[in-house]
Amino acid sequence: MTTAPAAQDFQFAPVTLEAAESHANASPEDRARWRDAMMGVTGGDQKKVDAYEAELRGFLTKTVTHPGEPLAGTETGQPAANFDLTSGIDAAITPEQKEAGAALLRRHWTGSREELEARLKEEGIGPEKTADPRSNLAREFDAAAAGLLPQNYKLNGVFVNRSFTQDEALTLSGEMRSLLAATQTPGAAASSIAVEWADNIEAERGKADWTPERLELWWRSERLNASNALRMDYEAITLLAKAAIARADQKTILSLAKKGAFNSGAAMARLAQSELVRRARG
């Protein structure tokens, strides 16, 4: 500091940014003289002097300066003389205040980054968080496109006015939720996909008396529709669909497949699309 602060100036006055910076930038000799003066004012009460000095040091970690404004003593590209990084950070300061102080130090610190991070780590402050490069719109889109936990999918109405018994509906609901979660299906699309699977299962029951020729003709049409929709060979669609459901429980996959849930070109195309989206998102 340019002039050692008079002890009486600090006795009852609240800590200010000017006082805290003056103390932080003081030479060891000035700081020793300041402590001697404070000891005299307090009648030799070292605890009071230590507490006030800690308050001065901790003040800088709680003070927000203007963006781009360096802390006093760092304009030369060197750390402020004897600048104690963390002695003012103690149990009385909240984790949020610690993080705010650490962010302030990181923004203005011109010394060794390794030393700074090491000192902050000693105080329980983790490494600097990397800013999310996505725009708000991109974050909202990704959140909307993310899968959910099985129990969080809303399948209200999927099994209403169906031929399923109550036990069958309960079993199907659990199986479908499990597969929707495994394929990372967005919540907004889950109900329509579940309806499609339920339609396929009911339709499969109606194919019991179909001849092999009729069934083959129907499947040929379904494969063609799926290929036209995704503009790729049906063999590729099949491979992508299998990859999509491979992350689910095998018992669940076999149960739904046996019931006919995937027996349509549209169902296979949807599964293939979900796998393409997953791969695109990494």
Reported as a single tens digit per residue, the pLDDT across 172-186 is: 999 999 988 888 888
pLDDT tens for 5-43 read 444 444 435 666 667 777 777 777 777 887 777 777 667
Distances (CA, A) of 68 to 65, 75, 231: 8, 11, 54
pTM of the predicted model as reported, rounded to 2 decimal places: 0.49
pLDDT tens for 34-67 read 777 777 766 777 787 787 777 777 765 554 344 4
Residue pair 56/21 in contact (Cβ under 8 Å)? The answer is: no
Write down the mean pLDDT value for the chain.
Answer: 75
Residue pair 228/269 in contact (Cβ under 8 Å)? The answer is: no
Q: For residue 102, is pLDDT > 60?
A: yes
Give the relative orientation of helices 166-182 and 187-206 as an angle to the nearest 10 degrees: 130
Residue pair 244/278 in contact (Cβ under 8 Å)? The answer is: yes
List, in sequence order, every residue forming a beta bridge with 172; answer none if it has no partner.
none
pLDDT at 9: 43
Query: pLDDT band at residue 138, thresholds of 50, 70 and 90?
Result: low
Q: Where are the domains of the chain?
A: 7-122, 136-281
